[in-house]
Structure 1
Amino acid sequence: MEKLGGYDFYRSIGSPKWICGPMVDASELAFRMLVRRYGVELAYTPMLNSKQFTKNTKLRNTIFTTCDGDRPLVAQFAGDCPDILLEAAKLVEGSVDAVDINFGCPQHIAKRGHYGAYLQDEWDLMRSLISTLHQNLSVPVWCKIRVFPELEKSIAYAQMIEDSGSQVLAVHGRTRDSKGRNAGPADWNVIREIKKNVSVPVIANGDAVSLEAAEDCLSFTGCDGVMAAYPLLVNPTMFSGESKPDAFAVAREYLDLAEKYLTPTWQIRGHIFKLLKGHILGQDDIIRTYGAAQNAHDYRQATLVRRFFEGPRSTPRCTQVFEKLGLWLFTIDVLNHVEPGT
């Protein structure tokens, strides 16, 4: 059977509007299943390093898990070798709807590893990566990109990627250098112009911090979908329109899924602290309890004890506890694992 591409493919998976983006250590199965309950219509796996994925079976079985209800699903890979990228993609093509190449990660780890946004000046290599997957996979290849400072170059870049075989483009409206404290607002204008100048579906990424903002982005850019990442970590119900959900109820719902899908404790910890950050700052007892938790059951028991959340707010001692436990997930983890403003 001929492989579908472009809009034919996008329609075949329901023309998703609201999308959970790829997040290292954060868009794992349990979290994907949670956000799917609250309006997410398509989700990405965490970014997967193609070299590690092909070499380490134990790691592969930990970081890539899925289930029958986890669709449509896009697996995202990072890498700079066409053969290794294809080998990695072949390991999952029967379990996903598409494979995405990460050309958008701006972090230093991507620079060291020679992948992500640090390939955006090597168009011949990018063409080879995209065309190799396009020609040899049974599922479509997608690409997630950042833009250049120049509009014309950004458009030409997107067109090159489409011409190389990418069937969907996810466009983050920031440049490679726009990250961390220098992130600034996403440029929806350049996303809109790219959308006008390619013929494949385009997903807008950047500054979709609420359902209202996502709807504004969709309307302004004319894109086919909007992707969010960090805002979903803080509020997994965002795409349902719930602006102030019961964080404890959502946390317990996540923990039920984490237990069901055997989620590693280090992934659980990241989600719980992001979900409950505003409620536990200054609460030494609950911070210690969470820091000592070993599994989903321990975290669930902690979220059921409301009395921990009724004390005074931030104290110097609280800060020391966070540092001793190594729970700096709200700053360093966000900068390292989630593209700013996503």
Structure 2
Amino acid sequence: MKALLLADFGAPYYPAIREEHPDLELVEAYSNEDILSKISDAEAVFGYLTDKQFQAAKNLKWIQTLDAGMEGLFNAVPEIADTDVLVTNARGAGAPMIGEHGVTLMLALARQLPRFWADKSNRKWDQDGALEVVEYLGNKTCGIIGLGKSGKEIGWRAKALGMTVIAVDEQPVDGDPIVEDVWGLSKLNDLLEQSDYVVVTAPYTAKNAGMIGEAELSRMKSSARLVVTSRGRLVDHDALVNALNSGGIAGAGLDTTVAEPLPADNELWDLPNVIITPHIAGNSEKAHLDERTVDIFAENLRRYVSGHPLINVVDKQLQY
């Protein structure tokens, strides 16, 4: 069996995989020309393909991608959805980091850290004013939209802080012991109405773009905050800006936005009740994330050669 290794960050880890599978032909290829010259007889690929590369892969049976989000592959190779090629992703590699980052955004909003950073810059000690705005998370409700691996990592951390955690998910999900209730998407409005912090961790597909729009934001408490760690396109940008400006919701913590990079003239930059981070929730020390991503491929490679079911299999019709 021949597997093409396209992820150059995996180079330090490939020798150990070769040692584990001495009978496999594990070939590194990093340039387009190199990939095209070697892919025709490859049975498996670790990385992403262009449409031209996919067309040249005459023997391809399995692709292991490098991220949890799948729009990159399906946008580049839309026809893959109608083939028998098995697709798996790296779902979970960045989940613990997303868990930390999501809760960090909630804590920063509750404890008003942007305000105090501004006060520090102005050498301003405003204890009386601060006492009126800081909040306690422990008696609040965290509502998670999309209880996958990242959602669960946020959920147990929120529960550890004393929060009540509820969730909705398109698929049946067992939330025990983290979540009080996991509902179907039909109860999204109930989650929005009950939550003090609404956390969006659902995967993006063309079908759920803008799923949090004006009507959904209007269901939220005026004291509630929205945290987005998966894809900014799940939230209608104009509706969010209007809700933040009008006091419809109290604030937002955004690791992802509709447009990335967020243009310098975008109105979100100027809103004092918004925290923005540049789509890094799933990242950490580079070697740590790289190793976790390669580990998922290595585990699936073991399963593939032994004929066992793979983990992180992507539903190509749902595209996640």
TM range (shorter): 0.3 to 0.5
> Computing the radius of gyration over CA atoms, which structure comes out larger, 1 or 2?
2
TM-score of the aligned structures, taking structure 2 as reference length: 0.34
Q: Which structure: greater helix fraction?
A: 1
TM (normalized to structure 1)?
A: 0.33
